[in-house]
Structures are given as C-alpha cells and as structure tokens.
C-alpha cells in the first residue's frame, strides 16, 4: 500500500483488483458473497440451466432465508427450498433456516462474517450496512450475484469517495437514524450515486456498531454504493469473540487487532471527490414525509399525522439497541387503541437478549405484536402489510409509495419516535409526551 495517499475504499480496491477490462471497470476479488431467498433462486436456476451449478468457495458464501419466513405460501416455500437444497448440495455450512434465521444485515455481522478491508456483495441494496466495519459492501442484482457465486468476482466503477464529516454531539433524544436522514436530505436521493460515503467525525466515533450499521444501512437511499466507517476499538470490541482467543485467535490482544485494522484507515492526506460537513448538534428528531427518503422534517414542526400502524424492526433498526430505545419509551405505557404495533427483533440473538432484559414483556404489555425475525413488513411481503390508504410509522428505510403495501403511506423515523407515535396514535416524540431522554 505504498505510493500516493488513499482512502479506505481505494485501499480495498487496490488489494482486491484482479482485472481492469478496457481499463474502465475494476473487477474485484470477493471476500464474501451473501445470499437470501428472494434474489438468489433465480441465479441458482440460471447456473443450473447453463450447466454451471458450482460455487467459487462454500466457506465464503453465507445464506439466509429472511424476507418471508416461515414461508407464507407455496411460492415462498419454493424459494426457500431452492436456496436450502443449493446450500446443502454445495456444502455451504453457514446457511440459516427458520429458527436460526434473521434479517441478513443484522445476522451476518452478528455471526462475525464481516471484517475491515473485506469486499462483500449481496443481492440486496442494503448490503451497504456492512461498511460499518470498514468493509466495501455493495448491493448488486441477481446477475452480479450469480457471477459472484460462480467466480468470486464482481465489477465496479473506479472508486470515488465522498467524505461526510459528522461533527458536533447528538442531543440525547437524537439517534443514528436521525443522523442518516439528515445526511440524505442534505445531499438528496441521488447525491451519492456511484460513490462510497465515508462517515467521519466525532459523531461516528461515539456511535456503537449498531448505530454505525444504521448509518451505513441507508447510504443507498442517497444512491451510494457503500457506506463506510474507519474500524476502531468499537469495531474490535464487537468482533473480539471472532478474532480473539475465543475465536480464530488471529490476535492476542485488542490493541494488536486495532493496530492491524488501522492499515485500512484512509490516509490523512487522501483526496476526496467531495467533502460534506454536517453539524449534528442541531439535529432534532426527524420523520420523512412524502414518498422519498430525502423528504425529511423535524417531528416537532409537523402537523398531526395519525397512523394506523407502527413497525419497529428491519435491517435499519431491528437490533438490540433499537429495541431498548423503543422499550424505554413504552415501559409502563399502552399504545393507542387506533394503532397496531408490530415489532420484529432482527435476529434470534436479538430476540433472546430482548427476552432476557424484559424488553419483549414491555412491548407485549404495551400492546405490541411480537413477530419472529424477518424482513416481511418493511417491503410489504408479509407480517404487517398495509391496506390501501393506511399510514405506518416505521423504523425501516424506504417510504416509497406502496412500499409496505399497495396504496400505503410510510413515515420513517427512529425507534424512540416510533414508540412515542404508537402511544400517541399520531407522529410525535418522547419529549412531546413528557418522556425524558436517557440520562
């Protein structure tokens, strides 16, 4: 890694480059190919029909059934079966079926499959989530996935990095979700197309891995290829069970791991295509309005919008911290009679932890329905689809027209605000309900 100063993603591209067809595309070697049951079966069937039913490396392919699980009908059962049979016949050991499955972008980090410096693809736009670990992680279509499965490579445009400096300190009632909504509304839904968003500054440094995953998760909503954060001691702590003596024993001490991770850091004098400075101290709790994720307003300035459903979950905000944040607001309170509350812990581990901490009980006492881990409602496939004309306050990532059900309206917000909204019946904040933020 000598020569001119580079950004993190440039270092990843340099170390993974295997071909540059016509000098235009960068074909990278992949460290991980993640698969789920919606976009993978067509790739599998195509490989079979071409007589190329092979995988490049079964240890570098991880698969999960997460979008509709347990299967809701014959079609989704068949999608699961195609993925399951394929994983078995190719010896893909890390395959997560019902009972052990969860939302891919929460489950795979939790299992320790992501490392700084990795290249990762998945047939899912929110793959950018894994950039939280200092990886280059890109959502791709089924054809790229198919070639990834077969050859372990993927083609990208030359890396371009957009540096987002998240300055200041978050107010106690503001979370990573409010920060990323602020970023998206600042640069627009196509503001980072074909770029990697490098998140820097004191706000990122202070965020947990869960918060950083929320941040990177919605990078694609601004068009970005991947979000990315510098791996630091927070990253080391999260990965320690996998990289330390209890895991593959790659490092003897955490300091040693951190030193090694630092090789990926963007060089101080690396050049960026653009630099955006955001003062996060002034961010207030936010909600989307309209049908694009860059249509964002402070909740305290919104007119009263009544909701039919509140959904807490997804690859954006279904992790343990998110559930804790919502439960703190819900504790000892009931949701409005007019609201259907649904919570989907993102993984079995999150669910188990929430049970142990009494969080599930708080949700149930408040009147929430607790579902198994699944993506279902977020994209209107199962477990909480909206009816025509209904309104949902949701901790998910897309407020597109009809996203959670034909003719339905979605307002995106943080778990704390979603919980407050469930109590009030209209979009609001814990503060407006007199619920003090955590000290």
Residue 140 binds other proteins (CB under 8 A):
yes
> Which residues 31-70 are close enough to bind other proteins by CB under 8 A?
38-39, 41-42, 45-46, 50, 52, 67-68
Cβ proximity to other proteins, 39 vs 428, nearer residue? 39
Interacting span for other proteins (CB under 8 A) from 92-100, 235-243, 326-334, 377-385: 377-385
- Two tokens at 210? 């869960």
CB of 193 to other proteins, least distance (A): 6
336 touches other proteins by CB under 8 A: no
401 binds other proteins (CB under 8 A): yes
For residue 92, the minimal CB distance to other proteins (Å) is 19
**Which of 16, 115, 340, 398 lies at the binding interface for other proteins (CB under 8 A)?**
398
CB of 127 to other proteins, least distance (A): 8
The least distance separating other proteins from the CB of residue 363, rounded to whole angstroms, comes to 26
Residue 76, interface with other proteins (CB under 8 A)? yes
Which span (163-171, 345-353, 401-409, 416-424) binds other proteins, by CB under 8 A? 401-409
User: Binding other proteins by CB under 8 A: which of 2, 24, 434, 439?
Assistant: 24
Task: In whole angstroms, give the CA distance from residue 34 to residue 37.
Answer: 11
Question: Site residues (CB under 8 A) for other proteins?
Answer: 18-19, 21-22, 24-25, 27, 38-39, 41-42, 45-46, 50, 52, 67-68, 73, 75-76, 78-79, 82, 123-125, 127, 139-144, 146-147, 150-151, 153, 155, 157, 189-190, 193-194, 223, 225, 292, 379-381, 398, 400-403, 406
């Amino acid at each position: 890694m000598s020569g001119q100063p580079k950004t993190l993603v440039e270092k990843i591209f340099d170390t993974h480059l295997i071909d540059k067809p016509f000098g235009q595309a960068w074909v990278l070697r992949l460290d991980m190919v993640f698969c789920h049951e919606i976009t993978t079966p067509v790739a599998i069937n195509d490989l079979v029909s071409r007589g190329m039913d092979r995988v490049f490396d079964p240890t570098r392919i991880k698969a999960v059934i997460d979008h509709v699980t347990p299967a809701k009908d014959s079609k989704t059962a068949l999608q699961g079966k195609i993925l399951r049979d394929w994983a078995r016949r190719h010896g893909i050991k890390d395959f997560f079926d019902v009972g052990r499955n969860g939302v891919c972008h929460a489950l795979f980090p939790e299992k320790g499959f992501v490392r700084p410096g990795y290249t990762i693809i998945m047939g899912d736009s929110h793959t950018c989530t894994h950039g939280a670990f200092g990886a280059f992680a890109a959502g791709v279509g089924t054809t790229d996935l198919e070639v990834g499965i077969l050859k372990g490579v993927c083609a990208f445009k030359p890396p371009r990095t957009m540096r987002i400096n998240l300055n200041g300190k978050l107010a106690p009632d503001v979370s990573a979700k409010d920060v990323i909504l602020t970023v998206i509304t600042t640069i627009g839904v196509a503001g980072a197309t074909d770029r990697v968003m490098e998140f820097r500054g004191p706000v990122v440094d202070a965020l947990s891995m869960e918060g950083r995953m929320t941040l990177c998760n919605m990078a694609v909503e601004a068009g970005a290829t991947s979000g990315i954060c510098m791996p630091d001691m927070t990253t080391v702590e999260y990965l320690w069970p996998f990289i330390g003596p209890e895991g593959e024993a790659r490092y003897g001490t955490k300091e040693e791991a951190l030193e090694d991770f630092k090789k990926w850091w963007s060089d101080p004098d690396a050049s960026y295509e653009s630099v955006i400075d955001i003062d996060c101290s002034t961010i207030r709790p936010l909600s989307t309005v309209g049908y694009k994720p860059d249509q964002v307003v402070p909740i305290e300035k919104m007119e009263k919008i009544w909701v039919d459903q509140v959904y807490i979950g997804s690859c954006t905000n279904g992790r343990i911290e998110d559930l804790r944040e919502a439960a703190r607001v819900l504790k000892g309170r009931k949701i409005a009679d007019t609201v259907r509350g649904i919570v989907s812990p993102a993984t079995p581990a999150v669910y188990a932890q929430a049970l142990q901490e009494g969080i599930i009980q708080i949700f149930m006492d408040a009147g929430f329905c607790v579902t198994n881990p699944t993506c279902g409602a977020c994209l209107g496939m199962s477990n909480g689809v909206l009816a025509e004309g209904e309104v949902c306050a949701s901790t998910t990532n897309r407020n597109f027209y009809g996203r959670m059900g034909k003719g339905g309206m979605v307002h995106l917000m943080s778990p704390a605000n979603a919980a407050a909204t469930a109590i009030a019946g209209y979009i609001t904040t814990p503060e407006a309900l007199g619920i003090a933020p955590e000290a």
